[in-house]
Chain A
Amino acid sequence: AQRVTQPEKLLSVFKGAPVELKCNYSYSGSPELFWYVQYSRQRLQLLLRHISRESIKGFTADLNKGETSFHLKKPFAQEEDSAMYYCALLTGNQFYFGTGTSLTVIP
């Protein structure tokens, strides 16, 4: 079975503090992993994917196959980062999403 776990439903950090949103996956094959974000009153949109190894809006995520994790990190949180974040796993043609983490950045 393929599953994605985001253990934190809610996460609050102060502006300027580091933030880490956790994602663990369960998949026996070679995973394709993504982070999607939904800002208030906006559509769900891609934030980053592990294969491109890029940093978007200061966020990075490293795939750790040993720990089966794909945690999202940012060294200095900004107020505009407040949003709902979803980790997603693509296996073949099927996407599996985590339950999401609502991030609030406190000014």
Chain B
Amino acid sequence: NAGVTQTPKFQVLKTGQSMTLQCAQDMNHEYMSWYRQDPGMGLRLIHYSVGAGITDQGEVPNGYNVSRSTTEDFPLRLLSAAPSQTSVYFCASGGQGNTEAFFGQGTRLTVV
């Protein structure tokens, strides 16, 4: 069962580098979201999307971009990585309305 596929699992970046975290779902959910998890902070919403072509900012959007060209994919882009973006990132599909949220396995990102 695929559900939510999030890649990569681990990534080390140098300060100033850019990268894209991939997230794909096969459940036809309109709602998708990205979170970062930091020690003592819980999960914080970065960006979310309520459908293809529609994205919006969450609680901590600075330094991140998203796009939603298809229902299935919701990539998260770090434009110029900073050490403050060292975190564990989770993508989720669903969770709004009557749908259950399904989470990806997480990406552990280290920015040096």
Residues of A within 8 A of B (CB): 4, 6, 34, 36, 43-46, 86, 88, 90, 93-100
Contact = CB atoms under 8 A, between A and B. Distances in A.
Contact of B43 (A43, A46, A86): A86
Nearest to A2: B59
Given A93-B96, A94-B59, A86 B42 contact: yes
Contacts of B31: 93
Interface of B: 31, 33, 35, 40-45, 48, 50, 56, 58-59, 90, 92, 95-96, 100-106
A94 B44 contact: no
Contacts of B95: 46, 90, 95
Given A93-B56, A94-B59, A97-B35, A45 B103 contact: yes
A43 B103 CA distance: 6
Given A43-B103, A43-B104, A93-B56, A98 B48 contact: no
9 contacts: A44-B103, A46-B95, A90-B96, A93-B50, A94-B48, A94-B58, A94-B59, A95-B33, A99-B41
A96 B100 contact: no
B84 to A, nearest CB: 19
A17 B72 CA distance: 44
B45 A95 contact: yes
Given A43-B105, A45-B103, A90-B95, A97 B48 contact: no
Contacts of B58: 94
Given A43-B105, A44-B90, A97 B96 contact: no
